[in-house]
Amino acid sequence: MRRFLVWLAAGALVGAVAPTGLAAQGYGIYEHGTCMMGRAGAGIASPCADGSAIFYNPAGITGTGKGILSAGVTYIGPSGDFTNDVTGVTTESEPLKFFVPHLYWTRDLDQKYSVGLGVFAPYGLTTEWDENTFEGRFLGYHSEIQSIYIQPTFAIRVSDKFRIGGGFDYTIVKVALHQRADLYSTTLSAGVTGGNLGFAPGTDFADIKLEGDGTGVGFNVGAIWQAARNVSVGLKYLSQQEVYVNKADADITQINTGIILPAGHPLLIQLGLPAGTPLDAILAPRFTGTGALVDQTGSTKLTFPSQLVFGLAVDATPKIKVLADVQWVNWAKFETLALQFERLPQKIIVENYENTIGVRVGGEYAINTNYTARLGYLSHGAAAPDQTVTPNLPEGPRNEFTAGLGASLGQKLHLDLAYQYIDQADRRGRTTDGGMAEPTTAVNNGLYTFSAHLIGATFTYKF
Amino acid sequence: MIRKLTGLSLVAGALFLGACHEDGTLNPPDAPIAGDAMVRYVAMGNSITAGFQSAGILDSTQKQSYAYLIAHAAGTEYYYQSLRYRGCAPPFTNNVTQTRYTLPGFPASTASTCDLATASEKPWLSNTAVPGARMIEATNNFDSTGAVATSASNTLTGIILGGATQADRMEEAHPTLVTAWFGNNDVLGALTNSANPGNPILVTPLAKFQAGTDALFDRLEATGADVLIIGVANVTVIPYGTSGQVIFCAKNPGVGGCPGTPGTSALPALFTVDPNCAVAAILVPWSKYVPMIGAAAAGAAQLLDCSVDTVVSSAAETGGMMTAVTQYNSYLSTQAAARGFAFWDPNPTLQNLINTGAVPVFPNLSALGTGGSVTFGNYFSLDGVHPSALAHRLIADSVAANLNAAFGTTIPVPVAP
């Protein structure tokens, strides 16, 4: 047990610092076990025997005997870009490589009761763009959400045909939003923005890094019913969490514009300054003393929506298993992201996400007693509505294809490998709010593309 | 069970087919109807290119600029720094009373009124022109060289360019075609100098003009764009300055070789013109003698004495300005040819308007007695300096024809129906 706790602590630590990629709707992630990944995540009616049922369906941890410990990692290599309609300029997102670990331990207490503990991250995102050149940097050039769910789990074999399980989720969340401030859209005096004074769009004058953390609680429950000898049905519900991020640090740095104001500039006239005065000298007081752009604290609230998944598993032959899941996610709860600061005015980012349906279909073929091949396909709609496709999360409907292989490495050790390709439909979106409190699709100014390759590996040890 | 599996397969297949997601698409601007050279058109220049009229500029006059007309006729993207509300400064509605355009709810406008720009995001600036810009200001907002150590940068320099130079904004646009019309202000500032019209010290020295030209042309050449250079207009023939000879004859028809019948002048009896004015090359700004005519009509005797340098541009001063224009245009055309730029001299077109009477040599003062404006025909606005909307159409037609001839563009001419 002591060794297990060391493993768990290590896993949680790695998970807390490793950014996570996008592999489900919105900022959801669904790759929490390599065996399930090979099936495109399908199989809540018949979870894999690697402990990942703690996430996929807690009822599925029953029957693990003296215990299972599995540890694995998923490599995520996303790539994407944005192309502006008018300029035709394409900007690629920064190349990222994520290694997302997962860790599960389960065991039967007796024939009826089982327990387990899992660490996984069903919500998270990282998007990264060039902070100096990407036109959308004023909405965000680095956006990051890390959620580490720690879930003690308990399951009951109610009968030979019916199992239930559930767990309490304690969630540790880290959030970061880095963005530039554009002088063009900044109010410089009553009713006058930098744009009114002629400063061009894309005039960086401040860098704002907001970073903070918080915690949340929730639960994860599921049930499995053996409807027939070779047919099982599953249902799983992951509760919504609202995580309050208080006293986040907002580090604000002045960016020199290098602009020297020529004779007659309205700012010089207003302030009684001579021609040749550097604009940066005029702006500098905003970053010191009682200025609004000094380092300060901020707060926000994140919503991790509830999920309901229904699944069907059929043992078509002794060697072939077919699985299909339908996943509903209550993304409509993500309506706004409100950022509140000590000195800067409150900013409410309207999101108005929409509920999504995802369909996962997978299959397994037992090649022999030592090897199992897996295939899968999943498809889901977009959570972000057409007017909310931004650099922070240029999300869209996706088709995803998976393949996997399970191999026994002896009587107690098992290895699963899987590959997944994510093909997101090219999505029209925007890099600006167009000066609107609630931007519409009229602001959309280009096309986002996204795809990703994922490779997973999990070792499972049976005690 | 086989039936169940078949059903399951059908469901899975239906889900698969139903899950195909349609790709969004780029929404690029329509290709210009005038050819690929017009994909990124940038107009550089001064007040004329910016759309300045009647001593002011606002969005409606910006849309009358020849650059705007050409871009729209060519069907290409065109972005400009729209001046909001009353403009900056609001144009004259009456050039005698100096009344300027205003809007309901706004106070009376003055020459220093500036309602700034409309904040609308633009991917680039198609019209970088700034009223008042001389040749050197194409690349330098802080020039302080020469006899008059002052920059021509002004409020509109900041509002239109936001701290950059015209050349900077031109390069940011990655232009495929540029028109550049500078140089008018290198002599106009002398003519319009209120303290000493025609003040030679305000005429940009040729060497400085050449340096400014070289700096701009280097930047233009580096872009690889097609370039049309527009020559400097002969400011000595625009209605702002009226020939002393013309004024003398208007007051003294049939006298001293003037056409007409003695005693038939329409000018007030108390307004007299010294014979020293009867020289064609002497120019008198309308803003100098028209108020005198008004005062005379009101009963105060007025004498126009053309030996007073604070009132007129002497023949020598006028000659100096004409020489400068000739030298500027010679250098522009030579350097343009050397760099493969096209060149268009607007002066034959302007002179033709004068020769045909479309631009009168003496302004229309008929409304003066009823509080109306002095007017300068249909081709000049109420300041007597800047082209009217009609003249911009004429300029646009000429520029478009030159572009079509030089670069194979197919801009419809006339550019406006």
From the candidates A39, A83, A87, A183, which should be mutated to test the interface with B, based on the most B CB atoms within 10 A? A87
pLDDT (mean) for A134-156: 94
pLDDT(B1) > 60: no
Burial of B405 (0-12, 13-18, 19+ CB in 10 A): exposed
- pLDDT (0 to 100) of residue A19: 34
β-pairing, A162-182 vs A142-157, is antiparallel
DSSP letters, A384-436, are: S-GGG-BTTB----EEEEEEEEEEE-SSSEEEEEEEEEEEEEEEEE-S--TT-
Question: So what's the pLDDT on residue A13?
Answer: 34
* Confidence tier at A25 by pLDDT (50, 70, 90): low
Q: What is the pLDDT averaged over residues A163-180? A: 96
The CA distance from A426 to the nearest CA of chain B, in Å, is 5
Q: Do B28 and A379 touch (CB under 8 A)?
A: no
At residue A24, the pLDDT reads 57
Judged against a pLDDT cut of 90, whether residue A167 lies above it is answered with yes
Q: Are A438 and A350 in contact (CB under 8 A)?
A: yes
- Average pLDDT along chain B: 93
Structural domains of chain A, ranges and CATH numbers in brackets: 2-462 (2.40.160.60)
CB within 8 Å of chain B, chain A residues 151-170: none
Q: Which residues of B touch A262 (CB under 8 A)?
A: 141-142, 151, 153-154, 157-158, 163
pLDDT confidence bin for B147, thresholds 50/70/90:
low
SS (H, E, C) B373-393: CCECCCCECCCCCCECHHHHH
Mean pLDDT of A85-103: 89
pLDDT of residue B145: 78
* Lowest-pLDDT choice from A249-258, A391-400, B164-173, B206-215: A391-400
Q: How confident is the model at residue A29 (pLDDT cuts 50, 70, 90)?
A: confident
pLDDT at B19: 54
DSSP bridge partners of A400: A378, A422
Q: Where are the alpha helices (DSSP H) in B165-313?
A: 166-172, 185-191, 206-223, 244-251, 286-297
- Report in angstroms the alpha-carbon separations of A221 from A61, A148, A237, A331: 12, 18, 5, 19
In angstroms, the CA A100 to CA A72 distance is 8
How many Cβ atoms are within 10 Å of B404's Cβ, its own excluded? 17
Q: Tell me: pLDDT of B26 over 70.
A: yes
Residue type, A71: A
CA distance B172 to chain A (A): 11
Helices B66-74/B389-407 angle, 10° precision: 50
For residues B181-189, give the mean pLDDT: 96
Q: How far apart are the C-alpha atoms of A30 and A162, rounded to whole Å?
A: 25
Query: Which has the closest alpha carbon to B92: B56, B131, B52?
Result: B56
Percent with pLDDT over 70 in chain A:
95
Which residues 54-113 of chain B have a CB within 8 Å of chain A?
Answer: 77, 81, 84
DSSP strand pairing (B241-243 vs B283-285):
antiparallel
Q: Are B25 and A426 in contact (CB under 8 A)?
A: yes
In A349-388, the residues whose Cβ lies within 8 Å of chain B are 359, 361, 377, 379-381
Q: List phi, psi (to 5°) of A132.
A: -100, -25
At residue B148, the pLDDT reads: 62
pLDDT digits 0-9 by tens, A420-451: 999 999 999 999 998 888 999 999 999 999 99
B152 vs B140: CA distance, rounded Å:
10
**How far out from the chain centre does Cα A422 lie?**
14
3-state SS class at B327: helix
- Please say if the pLDDT value at position B2 is more than 50: no
User: Inter-chain contact A260–B142, Cβ cutoff 8 Å?
Assistant: yes
CB atoms within 10 A of CB A39: 31
pLDDT, tens only, A323-355: 999 999 999 999 999 999 999 989 899 999 999
Whether residue A6 is predicted with pLDDT greater than 60 in this model: the reply is no
Q: Tokens in use for B160?
A: 């239109």
What gap in Å lies between CA A404 and CA A418, rounded to an integer? 4
Region B350-355: mean pLDDT is: 95
**pLDDT at residue A18, as a whole number:** 33
Q: In this structure, are residues B139 and B44 in contact, taking their beta carbons and an 8 Å threshold? A: no
- Asked whether the beta carbons of A222 and A60 are under 8 A apart, the reply is yes
**Share of residues in chain B with pLDDT > 90 (%):** 89
Please say if the pLDDT value at position A105 is more than 70.
Answer: yes
Those residues whose C-beta lies under 8 Å from the C-beta of residue A414, and which sit 6 or more positions away, are A50, A406, A407, A408, A459, A460, A461, A462
B149 to chain A, any CB pair closer than 8 A? The answer is no
Instruction: Name the pLDDT band for B322 (thresholds 50, 70, 90).
Output: very high
Does residue B17 sit at the A interface (CB-CB below 8 Å)? Answer: no
Q: Where does the pLDDT of residue A244 fall: very low under 50, low under 70, confident under 90, or very high at 90 and above?
A: very high
Strand order in the sheet with B177-181: B41-45, B177-181, B226-230, B342-344
Instruction: Please indicate whether, in this complex, the C-beta atoms of B160 and A198 are within 8 angstroms of each other.
Output: yes
| pLDDT of A7 over the 50 cut | no
In angstroms, what CA-CA distances link B219 with B166, B170, B177, B179?
Answer: 11, 9, 13, 13
ipTM for the whole complex: 0.89
H or E element that contains B8: helix B2-18
Q: What is the pLDDT of residues B197-232, one digit of tens each?
A: 999 999 999 999 999 999 999 999 999 999 999 999
pLDDT band at B10 (very low <50, low <70, confident <90, very high): very low
- Between CA A242 and CA B282 the distance in angstroms is 83
From the CA of B149, how many Å to the nearest CA of chain A? 13
Give residue A167's identity as a one-letter amino acid code. G
Structural element, H or E, at residue B349 = helix B347-355
A39 Cβ contact list (under 8 Å, min separation 6): A48, A323, A360, A362, A363, A364, A374, A375, A376, A402, A404
What is the rounded average pLDDT of the residues B319-330?
98
- Which of B16, B25, B110, B121 to mutate against chain A (most A CBs within 10 Å)? B121
CA distance linking residue A228 with residue A352, whole number of Å: 42
Q: What is the mean pLDDT of residues B366-374?
A: 92
**Nearest-CA distance A248 → chain B (Å):** 32
